[in-house]
Structure 1
Amino acid sequence: MLKILRERFRQGYRTFPYLKKDPVIAERFRGRPQLPIEPCALDCHACRDACPYGAVQIDQGRIGIDLGLCTFCGDCATACPSGTLTFSCDHRLATRKRDDLRVGPAELQLAAALDKRMKKLFGRSLKLRQVSAGGCNACEADINVLGTLVFDLGRYGIQFVASPRHADGLLVTGPVTENMKSALLDTYAAVPEPKLVIASGACAIGGGPFRGSPEVNNGIGDLLPVDLYIPGCPPHPWTTLDGLLRLLGRLEGR
């Protein structure tokens, strides 16, 4: 026991003071894309052609990216001969509306808080049931990280629960395979009203790499009413935490 206490004292306080301080993320992290305001002078379409999932669109020379389809692989930025398309280290990506994930040069419309009634219900205590609807386990692994002492999700009053009957909403990952479709709908039905639905990751939002397969549903958009979209493949834990806190009104004005 004394050895454990000495080691704990040596390690010090590890929980990051999020909200008071912005996290420092590795430079190799691909976050919010930075797109040119002016039409691309080259008009080569190299970025669009390099995207394996059709996330990059070009309209009259102006580049746009659908973050709901983007896996942040970086192939578009690598293929851009002029270097005008890049990814920043900005982890703030979550939105309330699916259309807000279709970004261009304009500022990304980050997630707004719940309405007054819902924020009063869930603002201080939010219980979520996580459903893996056919995912590869990458999103699930990074969601589990939120429970570690570095992120300490519970200090914000947010917890994951084992039963949907004890939950205030669902956090769904995966493209919703045919084998998981009925299970997802049954789980949603078991959550008492009022309830929230969060789509986490490219698969849950638009099908991800599995988009178009007859065995998946291309995400949950046409199955359940989604209150929060968290893009990424997988979303960084800071991206998920930022989205959840914005939904609860903890980051208004930031």
Structure 2
Amino acid sequence: MFKVIERLLGDKIATEKISLTGSERFRGKITGSCPENLREECAKACPVGAFQVTADAQGYAVDYKKCLFCGKCVEKAMGSLQHSSDEALPVITEDAAEVTAEVIKQKLGRSLHVRHLDAGSCNACDFEMGAMSNPIYDLHRYGVHVDASPRHADLLMVTGVVTRNLEQALRMSYEAMPEPRLVMACGACAAGGETYGASYAIVGAADKVVPVDIYIPGCPPRPSAMIAGLLAAADMLAERM
């Protein structure tokens, strides 16, 4: 917090260019070649079943919608697998994010309106979402506006695994949105639904209740990944209008 205040007082503007590459300690995409004798151990170590053994040349696949980026599979691989510092967003690049920011102004002709729905999160994703509006990430420079009502929203941003108590709220929020409408599952709970396992109180991932257009992996995702997803959503919305 003090660093932000120092930047504001010293530079006046603290806003930074959105980057999909994290620090050296950031756990992003998993890279490397996992030895055949360790693949089953890596799969067993994954608490959400995101690491899967395959029959192709690579020998493994990672379902990033479920992945918690906990590093357990990397530990079992004994140095043959590594976490890169790149976000696990294969469709979205930094160049695309920059281009899509212009789409909001040029194609939509207005701001992108977002309705956030917490379907049962631990609030980690929600805290990171709040950071999008701070002077560092400055979400509003892209023309993205958060609405209080789904009736005014273009995109429904869902966080948390869907609980049975909020299943109806999610469905009703989606039905209240005008066409064309989009849904973003933000974080491992909403995207993969495996974080808390099976329970009488849990429905699961958001796509079990409503159709999902964009998945943002992470536990929780970084604000920059969320913003990149929102910019990609603006591009998708422009194509549907």
TM-score range (shorter-chain normalised) is 0.7 to 0.9
> Which of 164, 178, 194 lines up with 1:192 in the alignment?
178
Is the alpha carbon distance of 1:7 and 1:51 closer, same or farther for their aligned partners in structure 2, counting shifts above 3 Å?
closer
Tell me if the contact between 1:130 and 1:172 (Cα under 8 Å) persists in the aligned partners: yes
Secondary structure in structure 1 of the residue aligned to 2:179: coil
Does the Cα contact within 8 Å between 2:15 and 2:136 map onto a contact in 1?
Answer: yes
Question: For the residues of structure 1 that align with 2:170 and 2:128, how far apart are their CA atoms?
Answer: 20
Aligned to 1:104: none
Name the SS of the counterpart of 2:183 in structure 1. strand
After TM superposition, the score normalised by the length of structure 1 is 0.78
% identity of equivalent residues:
39
Structure 1 residues without counterparts, runs of 5 or longer: 1-5, 95-107
Name the structure with the higher helix share.
Answer: 2
Query: Can you list the C-alpha shifts for 1:39-78, whole angstroms capped at 9, x where unaligned?
Result: 7243452211111111111123701111111111111111
8 Å CA contact retained: 1:35, 1:64? no
What residue number does 1:146 align with?
Answer: 132
C-alpha deviation, 1:248, in angstroms? 2.9
Question: For 1:31-46, what aligned pairs fall within 5 Å after superposition?
Answer: 31-36=28-33, 40-43=35-38, 45-46=40-41
Secondary structure, counterpart of 1:198 in structure 2: strand
Cα offset, 1:132, TM superposition: 0.1
Contact 1:71/1:208 (CA < 8 Å) preserved in 2?
no
Which amino acid in the other structure matches residue 126 of structure 2? E
What aligned pairs does 1:17-166 form with structure 2 within 5 A after superposition?
17-18=17-18, 22=19, 25-36=22-33, 40-43=35-38, 45-60=40-55, 62-81=59-78, 83-91=79-87, 93-94=88-89, 108-110=90-92, 122=108, 124-166=110-152
Cα distance in structure 2, aligned partners of 1:13 and 1:32: 31
CA contact (8 A) 1:205 1:229 kept: yes
Q: How many residues in Structure 1 have an aligned counterpart in Structure 2?
A: 223
Aligned to 1:13: 13
- Structure 1 residues 197, 14: CA separation in 2 closer, same or farther (over 3 Å shift)? same
Shift of 1:10: 2.4
Residue 28 of structure 1: CA displacement? 1.5
| Contact 1:46–1:79, Cα closer than 8 Å, also in 2 | yes
The TM-score, its normalising length taken from structure 2, stands at 0.82
Q: Which amino acid aligns with 1:183?
A: A
Residue 241 of structure 1: which of 223, 227, 238 is its match? 227
Paired letter, 2:204: N
